[in-house]
Amino acid sequence: MNEQTQLHIYNTITSIVETICPREEFKNDLIHDIFLTMVEKPPSMIDDLIKNNGLNYYISKVITNNVKSSTSPFYNKYKKFLNITDDISTYRSIILEDWDENFDRWHNERRPRLQNI
């Protein structure tokens, strides 16, 4: 995968995460985890996604899966540690509610556009 493609992927991820992530402390971690996930994909897969205008939609689905799944790498590295104490559970609920609401709104607004890119 060439540097230009990597930059395009990184910028796309950053744009989506900046829009949907309500908590600043998670943004950089999420961006970098998703970027690593994408660059580990076979270059031919990325080339096909770009050629078929499906890269943005695919990236949005990878982010969705990482944000909403309790078995995702992102959850296991960052979100699950918010369950450690009862005090943090309250904070966790606030984060997840904001996050889900922001992501759902963002995804529903852009879904038709992402599919047509």
**E strands present in 41-86:** none
The pLDDT value recorded for residue 35 is: 94
Q: Cβ distance 9 to 59 under 8 Å?
A: yes
Residues 6+ apart with CB under 8 A from 117: 53, 54, 55, 56, 57
- What integer pLDDT is reported at residue 85 of this predicted model? 47
Question: Which residues of the chain have a pLDDT value below 50?
Answer: 85-86
The two structure tokens encoding residue 11: 């910028």
From CA 92, how far away is CA 53, in angstroms rounded?
A: 36
pTM for this predicted structure: 0.67
Question: What is the chain's Cα-based Rg?
Answer: 15
- Sorted by where each begins, the domain ranges of the chain are 3-115
